């Protein structure tokens, strides 16, 4: 019997969970396709943007991840066509047939139809964006140091974060913190007391997915760090100079976008109902209506829980969905009936700064130092499991002496350098 | 009495050595200007290109480096004008007067007048270039994995390194090694036995700065790793497709340039004699003729030793010159006579691969495992002194819990995002 072809598009939390669930499944050939050659631990991406962690601390090369899993082939490619009738996916000029297809392409930041704002206010979804944001923030301080015009210096030291979800809160808190704790010792001319960090949220409170009491704590914590929190205000008219916040025009050289999600471009090629954000509706077993062999998971899908709420776009949802799809394919292989996906909600958490966090889990809501310890513990445990190592040092000294090459990341945008028209020329 | 203004341009090994030598010197204000916000440990830059080390392993933010040195201000800026009459340096739109000026701007790779080759064959002088080369090499393997045309696959797996000095030898050896040791386990379709690494040297032997016997050992070591060494051949006609090597046209998708050095653009603004490579001639105390308060050091200067040979463009030369200039300025301050610079040559070394290196020091020439251990020991000691830390792990866990922000590098090319025309607009 021919082995079944299982194609997974996207190596985020969802896609990797599917692949891992199918390890050692006989009679199948898995193809994992991603634009990047690495898996990203996205919950700590803001730490790269804030210069707290290195890119290699929160990434792992896909080929290392799957080196010992023999039924999988990793491909770095950009999927541009889905053919549901012919059952193929196409990346570049190469097509590959599938018996099962798992779409786990994630989402990107959306600008509510103003995509040209991206230039002035990068989002924080990819490693490149994190490096770009890190560079902009640090450069703003460098330029403030040599700026002689006090008005421009003030603009260089004004940072606006748009979006009061966990990412926006984490970034705003971190900018205020590195200013007060680290940078203030490093600069001579620039008056870092002039630093202004503004967090803008269109809704009535920050961290709207959390209970109201925790939103209030988070806002107070942010304010104690010096962050100005503005709710029920929308950002508009973004430019290099600044942006409009309601009635006021704020001059700021650094704007960071942590609001709005837009779907993968591939969603246009997927038939059937979608929600207003463009996410794809799936059946209770996470497959497409009328396509039981095609699954959509993670941020790309909209899944409604028993209470009628849509599941949030966070790592635990994607991971559980991925494992469920893996089990479902296994069930198909062994002729068993499929189950229905149920999300087991362990809770949500966000950190505002050192010793400051909010946690909502299993009916318990808490904040402060203990919440922060919980946040650190959970993230360190997951990060270490993710990196499968106890100390980064070991990896470093190991790779230094063995040339083990832990840093194999392709992060520049021009990896297509090789490709475009060359094939034609030959 | 007004403090003396000492301006240092360039924070490489030479510039940093000057600044450190002047620590605690009273009655002076030092300005250190560099295009980057970090100091780079260049001898291990090829390890970043080969994915063995992270950028943050071989860099240190300048502001951290000089945080405790109170008489110095660090400026990230691009010096574009030197005024020797008015005694000012200009970066961007800002000018700064100097009583002493130290030029330590280094060099960049030269393409013998064919600067358009750079696109096809990046050099290895900056961190950005190392990241670009890393990306190209890894991408070539990724594309070979999905390439169906065997002819193109062969081109993707052909790597040409131009230049048989230490950098070229280290890169060629490392590509052959990661192919054999690491990547061969990671790819399924691509036949890594097809990998071809060609090292091209225009002279009669690789490592021409070393004794002949060691050049021969290095060539044999390279060949044992599978590298094809071609001497007395010049590269020309570079394109995306490949390059001409003497009579033969070699199709190769990845070319790395490790040959030729061209001077800093600032050298055009410096009067007086230069050598054929554009390096600036200096007097025995490393100052310019008729400008006793202006020093040129490192790769930017040409210094002739007592045997009539010019000193090589390596870190120890720059460091010793930097310390000498620091002492000379101190001598001026205390009214003592200036000395003459003498280079103390501790020797040279290059590594070809794991357990393979050549060392020439104090009349001793040796190679093999012991030479490699020497190379590792010297580099680890210097790197650790440089990073001022025993374990990278400590830095990681420390920065993770304290937000100490070790990774504060601005590596993208667009850090001028903020600046160009904005000032006019305001």
Instruction: Establish whether A170 is a catalytic residue.
Output: yes
Q: Do A415 and B135 touch (CB under 8 A)?
A: yes
Rounded distance between C-alpha atoms, residue B325 and residue B318, angstroms? 10
Percent of chain B with pLDDT over 90: 57
SS3 sequence of B167-220: HHHHHHHHHHHHHHHCHHHCCCCCCHHHCEEEEEECCCCCCCCCCHHHHHHHHH
Q: Do A400 and B51 touch (CB under 8 A)?
A: no
**Whole-number mean pLDDT of chain B?**
86
Q: So what's the pLDDT on residue B407?
A: 46
Q: Do B132 and A412 touch (CB under 8 A)?
A: yes
Rounded distance between C-alpha atoms, residue B152 and residue B137, angstroms? 15
Q: So what's the pLDDT on residue A296?
A: 97
Please give, rounded to a whole number of angstroms, the shortest distance from the CA of B346 to a CA of chain A. Answer: 24
Provide the pLDDT confidence category of residue B384 given band limits of 50, 70 and 90. Answer: low
pTM here?
0.84
Rounded distance between C-alpha atoms, residue A198 and residue B339, angstroms? 56
Provide the pLDDT confidence category of residue A398 given band limits of 50, 70 and 90. Answer: very low
Provide the pLDDT confidence category of residue B353 given band limits of 50, 70 and 90. Answer: confident
Q: So what's the pLDDT on residue B387?
A: 59
Residue A417 in tokens? 């350098």
Tell whether the torsion through CA atoms of A57, A62, A65 and A67 is positive or negative. negative
Asked if A361 and A348 touch (Cβ cutoff 8 Å), the reply is: yes
Average pLDDT rounded to a whole number, residues A342-348: 92
Average pLDDT rounded to a whole number, residues B264-274: 90
CATH architecture of A4-106+264-346: 3-Layer(bba) Sandwich (3.50)
Residue keyed to tokens 């040791």: B181
Mutation target vs B (from A145, A184, A396; most B CBs, 10 A cutoff): A396
Search chain A and give the residue with CA nearest B174.
A403
Least confident range of A154-158, A393-397, B34-38, B211-215: A393-397
Write the CA distances from A339 to A24, A279, A324, A342, integer angstroms: 21, 22, 9, 9
Q: Is B146 on the interface with A (CB under 8 A)?
A: yes
Please provide residue A89's backbone torsions phi and psi, each rounded to the nearest 5 degrees.
-115, 145
Per-residue pLDDT tens digits for B1-52: 789 999 999 999 999 999 999 998 999 999 999 999 888 988 888 888 887 7
Residues of B in contact with A174 (CB under 8 A): 403
Q: So what's the pLDDT on residue A324?
A: 98
Per-residue pLDDT tens digits for A168-207: 999 999 999 888 877 777 787 778 888 999 999 999 999 9
**Whole-number mean pLDDT of chain A?**
86
Q: Is B52 on the interface with A (CB under 8 A)?
A: yes
Nearest by CB to B145, from A47, A54, A75: name it.
A75
- Where exactly does CATH 3.50.50.100 map onto chain A? 4-106+264-346, 115-259
Per-residue pLDDT tens digits for B150-173: 999 999 999 999 999 999 999 999
B401 has a pLDDT exceeding 80: no
Per-residue pLDDT tens digits for B168-197: 999 999 999 888 877 777 787 778 888 999
Write the CA distances from B362 to A336, B87, B268, B309, B418, integer angstroms: 76, 42, 37, 17, 51
Q: Do A411 and B131 touch (CB under 8 A)?
A: yes
User: What's the N-to-C CA distance of chain A in angstroms?
Assistant: 38
Provide the pLDDT confidence category of residue A407 given band limits of 50, 70 and 90. Answer: very low
Label residue A96 left, alpha or beta by phi (over 0 means left) and psi (-120 to 50 means alpha).
Answer: beta
CATH number of B115-259: 3.50.50.100
Per-residue pLDDT tens digits for B217-264: 999 999 999 999 999 999 999 999 999 999 999 999 999 999 888 888
Q: Do B134 and A426 touch (CB under 8 A)?
A: no
Asked if B257 and B109 touch (Cβ cutoff 8 Å), the reply is: yes
B396 has a pLDDT exceeding 50: no
Provide the pLDDT confidence category of residue B398 given band limits of 50, 70 and 90. Answer: very low
Q: Which of A147, A170, A177, A321 is catalytic?
A: A170
Search chain B and give the residue with CA nearest A403.
B52
Rounded distance between C-alpha atoms, residue A134 and residue A131, angstroms? 5
Q: So what's the pLDDT on residue A206?
A: 96
Average pLDDT rounded to a whole number, residues B349-365: 90
Q: CB within 8 A of A115, min separation 6: which ones?
A: none
Q: Which of residues 362-401 of B touch A (CB under 8 A)?
A: 376, 380, 391-394, 396-397, 399-401
Rounded distance between C-alpha atoms, residue A285 and residue A358, angstroms? 33
Search chain B and give the residue with CA nearest A146.
B75
B360 has a pLDDT exceeding 60: yes
Per-residue pLDDT tens digits for B99-125: 999 999 998 888 888 889 999 999 998
Provide the pLDDT confidence category of residue A412 given band limits of 50, 70 and 90. Answer: very low
Please give, rounded to a whole number of angstroms, the shortest distance from the CA of B115 to a CA of chain A. Answer: 18
Residue A365 in tokens? 């809501």
Rounded distance between C-alpha atoms, residue B283 and residue A374, angstroms? 64
Please give, rounded to a whole number of angstroms, the shortest distance from the CA of A185 to a CA of chain B. Answer: 7
Q: So what's the pLDDT on residue A156?
A: 94
Q: Which of A133-142, A371-380, B196-205, B253-262 is most confident? A: B196-205
A424 has a pLDDT exceeding 50: no
Q: Which residues of B275-306 are buried (b: 16+ CB within 10 A; e: fewer)?
A: eebbbbbbbebbbbeebebbbbbbbbbbbeee
Q: So what's the pLDDT on residue A409?
A: 52
Please give, rounded to a whole number of angstroms, the shortest distance from the CA of B226 to a CA of chain A. Answer: 17
Please give, rounded to a whole number of angstroms, the shortest distance from the CA of B60 to a CA of chain A. Answer: 13
A421 has a pLDDT exceeding 60: no
Q: Do B178 and A402 touch (CB under 8 A)?
A: no
Least confident range of A48-57, A338-347, A406-415, B219-228: A406-415
Q: So what's the pLDDT on residue A236?
A: 94
Higher pLDDT, B383 or A45: A45
Q: So what's the pLDDT on residue B424?
A: 33
Asked if A229 and A192 touch (Cβ cutoff 8 Å), the reply is: no
A271 has a pLDDT exceeding 90: no
Q: Which of residues 282-341 of B touch A (CB under 8 A)?
A: none
Q: Which of residues 208-237 of A touch B (CB under 8 A)?
A: none
């Amino acid at each position: 019997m021919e082995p079944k072809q299982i194609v997974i598009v996207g190596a985020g939390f969802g896609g990797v969970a599917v692949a891992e669930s199918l390890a050692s499944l006989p009679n199948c050939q898995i193809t994992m396709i991603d634009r990047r050659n690495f898996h990203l631990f996205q919950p700590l991406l803001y730490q790269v943007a804030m210069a707290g962690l290195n890119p290699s601390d929160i990434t792992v090369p896909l080929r290392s991840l799957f080196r010992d899993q023999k039924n999988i082939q990793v491909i770095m490619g950009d999927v541009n066509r889905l053919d549901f009738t012919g059952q193929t996916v196409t990346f570049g000029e190469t097509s590959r047939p599938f018996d099962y297809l798992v779409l786990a392409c994630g989402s990107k930041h959306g600008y509510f139809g103003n995509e040209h704002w991206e230039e002035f206010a990068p989002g924080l979804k990819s490693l490149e964006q994190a490096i770009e944001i890190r560079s902009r923030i640090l450069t703003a301080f460098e330029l403030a140091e040599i700026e002689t015009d006090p008005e421009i210096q003030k603009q260089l030291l004004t940072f606006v974060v748009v979006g009061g979800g966990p990412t926006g809160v984490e970034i705003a808190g971190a900018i205020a913190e590195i200013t007060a704790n680290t940078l203030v010792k490093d600069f001579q001319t620039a008056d870092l007391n002039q630093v202004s960090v503004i967090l803008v949220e269109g809704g009535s409170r920050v961290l709207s997915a959390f209970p109201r009491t925790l939103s209030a704590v988070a806002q107070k914590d942010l304010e104690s760090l010096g962050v100005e929190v503005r709710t029920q205000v929308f950002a508009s008219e973004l430019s290099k100079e600044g942006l409009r916040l309601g009635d006021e025009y704020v001059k700021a050289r650094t704007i960071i976008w942590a609001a709005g999600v837009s779907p993968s471009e591939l969603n246009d090629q997927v038939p059937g109902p979608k929600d207003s954000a463009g996410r794809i509706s799936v059946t209770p077993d996470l497959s497409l209506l009328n396509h039981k062999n095609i699954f959509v998971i993670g941020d790309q899908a909209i899944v409604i829980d028993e209470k009628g709420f849509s599941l949030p776009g966070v790592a635990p949802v994607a991971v559980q969905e991925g494992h469920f799809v893996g089990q479902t394919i296994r069930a198909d292989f062994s002729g068993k009936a499929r189950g229905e996906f149920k999300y087991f909600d362990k809770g949500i958490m966000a950190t505002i700064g050192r010793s400051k966090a909010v946690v909502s889990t299993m009916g318990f809501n808490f904040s402060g130092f203990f919440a922060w310890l919980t946040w650190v513990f959970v993230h360190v445990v997951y990060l270490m499991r993710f990196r499968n190592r106890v100390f980064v040092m070991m990896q470093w000294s190991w790779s230094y002496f063995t040339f083990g090459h832990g840093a194999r990341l392709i992060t520049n945008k021009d990896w297509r350098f090789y490709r475009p028209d060359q094939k034609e020329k030959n």
